[in-house]
C-alpha cells in the first residue's frame, strides 16, 4: 500500500501583472491510500488545479508552508520527473501538445523510467499492453503513433491521458477535470478506463466541477474545496447534495465568506 499525504499546504503563485505573490492554497489537508478514489469538487478559481500542480511539482506553484509526503517521505524537493518515477501521475485540465514526440515514444519512456536499466519493458510486451488498453478506450494505433496530443480534439486528448494512465500504471493519479468538454459517450469510455485501474495498488484523486462524472466513477470520499482549502469531506452522497444545493449551500451551511 502507498500513501499520499498533503499537510497544511499553502501555495502561492506570482501575479505577473502586479509582480506580487498571491496565496491560492490556504492550508489543504488530505490523506489518501492506494485502493481509494477521492474526489475534490469546488467552484471555479478555488485552487483545485493549483493543488494538482503543487502535488506534481510545477515550480510556478510555490509551497510556502506545509508538506506533501509520499509514503512518509517529503517530495517537496523533488522535480516533476522524480515524482513521476515515484509513482505520481497528473492528467492535466489542459493537456499540452508536444511536437516531435509520439505518444508511443512518450509512454515507453515513461514506463521504462520507472523500471531498472536491466528490466526495461520488451517491445512486444509493450505493444501487447498498448493493444489491450487501446481496445478498452476505443482508440486506434493511428492515434498512438501521432505526436503527443497534436491535432487531437479536446475529447481525444482526455482519452489519450487515460491511455497514458493505463500504460504507465502509477500508484496515484490526479485527474484534473478529465470530464470537461466530454460528451456522454466519451465520458463513459474515460470512466471505463479509470474503473479498470481500480485496485489495491492504485489510488486516484479526481478533480471535477460537476457531479456527473461521479455517477460513473464512484468515489470512496468526496471533498469540497473552497477558498483554497478543503472545507468539508464525506461519502458519495456529498456530491449529490452539492448537485442539489450548489456550492452556495455549503457556503451558507458552514458560514463561509469565500
Ligand atoms: P480551479 O482549478 O479550482 O478552477 P485554479 O487552481 O486554476 O482554480 O486557480 C486558482 C486561482 O489561482 C485563480 O485565481 C487563478 O487565476 C490563480 N492561478 C492559478 N494558476 C496561476 C498561475 N500560473 N499564475 C497566476 N495565477 C494563477
Ligand atoms: Mg477552473
Ligand atoms: Mg482547474
Cβ atoms of 174 and 88 within 8 Å: the answer is yes
Question: How far is ligand 3, taken at its centre, from the CA of residue 158, in Å?
Answer: 14
Cβ atoms of 195 and 31 within 8 Å: the answer is no
CATH number for the domain harbouring residue 232: 3.40.50.300
142 confidence band (pLDDT: 50, 70, 90): confident
Number of other residues whose CB lies within 10 A of the CB of residue 67:
13
| Alpha helices for the chain (secondary structure H) | 48-56, 80-85, 103-113, 123-136, 141-145, 154-168, 184-197, 237-254
Tell me the whole-structure pTM to 2 decimals. 0.94
Most confident range, picked from 132-141, 165-174, 236-245 = 165-174
Q: Which atom of ligand 1 is nearest to the CA of 15?
A: 25
What residues pack around ion ligand 3 (CB closer than 5 A)? 48-49, 93
Residue nearest to atom 21 of ligand 1 (CA): 13
pLDDT digits (tens, 9 = 90+) for 10-48: 999 998 888 899 999 999 999 999 999 999 999 999 999
Exposure string for 120-157, b = 16+ CB within 10 A, e = fewer: ebeeeebeebbeebbeebebeeebbebbbbeebeebbb
Distance between CA 237 and CA 198 in Å, rounded? 20
Domain count, the chain: 1
Distance between CA 215 and CA 194 in Å, rounded? 13
Q: Of the candidates 201, 127, 110, which has an alpha carbon nearest to the alpha carbon of residue 164?
A: 110
Residue nearest to atom 13 of ligand 1 (CA): 45
Q: What is the mean pLDDT of residues 81-101?
A: 88
Question: How far is ligand 1, taken at its centre, from the CA of residue 196, in Å?
Answer: 31
Predicted confidence at residue 213, as pLDDT, reads: 94
Predicted confidence at residue 93, as pLDDT, reads: 79
125 confidence band (pLDDT: 50, 70, 90): very high
Which of 9, 24, 92, 228 is the pocket-test mutation for ligand 1 (most atoms within 8 Å of CB)? 24
Q: What is the mean pLDDT of residues 204-230?
A: 95
206 confidence band (pLDDT: 50, 70, 90): very high
Q: What share of the chain is helix, strand, coil (3-state, %, to 5)?
A: 40, 30, 30
pLDDT digits (tens, 9 = 90+) for 176-194: 999 988 989 889 999 999 9
What range does the domain containing 234 cover? 3-254
The answer to whether residue 60 scores a pLDDT higher than 80 is: yes
Q: 165: which 3 cell numbers? A: 494512465
The answer to whether residue 97 scores a pLDDT higher than 90 is: no
Cell 497544511 belongs to 8
Predicted confidence at residue 99, as pLDDT, reads: 81
Distance between CA 170 and CA 145 in Å, rounded? 22
Q: Which atom of ligand 1 is nearest to the CA of 43?
A: 3
The answer to whether residue 258 scores a pLDDT higher than 80 is: no
42 lines ligand 1 (CB under 6 A): yes
Mean of the per-residue pLDDT values of the chain? 93
Looking only at the bridges linking them, the beta strands covering 203-208 and 172-176 are parallel
Instruction: Tell me the DSSP string of 120-151.
Output: PPPHHHHHHHHHHHHHHTT--HHHHHSEETTT
94 lines ligand 1 (CB under 6 A): no
Amino acid at each position: 500500500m502507498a500513501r499520499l499525504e498533503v499537510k497544511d499546504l499553502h501555495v502561492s503563485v506570482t501575479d505577473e501583472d502586479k509582480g506580487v505573490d498571491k496565496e491560492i492554497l490556504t492550508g489543504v489537508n488530505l490523506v489518501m491510500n492506494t485502493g481509494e478514489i477521492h474526489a475534490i469538487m469546488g467552484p471555479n478559481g478555488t485552487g483545485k488545479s493549483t493543488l494538482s500542480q503543487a502535488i506534481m511539482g510545477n515550480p510556478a506553484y510555490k509551497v510556502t508552508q506545509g508538506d506533501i509526503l509520499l509514503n512518509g517521505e517529503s517530495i517537496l524537493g523533488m522535480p516533476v520527473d522524480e515524482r513521476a518515477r515515484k509513482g505520481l501521475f497528473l492528467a492535466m485540465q489542459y493537456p499540452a501538445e508536444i511536437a516531435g514526440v509520439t505518444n508511443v515514444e512518450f509512454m515507453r519512456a515513461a514506463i521504462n523510467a520507472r523500471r531498472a536499466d536491466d528490466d526495461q519493458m520488451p517491445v512486444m510486451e509493450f505493444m501487447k499492453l498498448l493493444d489491450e488498453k487501446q481496445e478498452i478506450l476505443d482508440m486506434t494505433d493511428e492515434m498512438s503513433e501521432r505526436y503527443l496530443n497534436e491535432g487531437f480534439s479536446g475529447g481525444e486528448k482526455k482519452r489519450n491521458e487515460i491511455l497514458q494512465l493505463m500504460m504507465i500504471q502509477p500508484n496515484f493519479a490526479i485527474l484534473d477535470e478529465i470530464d470537461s468538454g466530454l460528451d456522454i459517450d466519451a465520458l463513459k469510455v474515460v470512466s471505463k478506463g479509470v474503473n479498470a485501474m481500480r485496485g489495491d495498488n492504485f489510488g486516484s484523486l479526481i478533480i471535477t466541477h460537476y457531479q456527473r462524472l461521479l455517477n460513473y466513477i464512484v468515489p470512496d470520499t468526496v471533498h469540497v474545496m473552497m477558498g483554497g482549502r478543503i472545507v468539508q469531506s464525506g461519502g458519495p452522497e456529498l456530491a449529490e447534495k452539492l448537485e442539489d444545493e450548489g456550492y452556495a449551500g455549503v457556503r451558507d451551511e458552514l458560514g463561509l465568506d469565500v
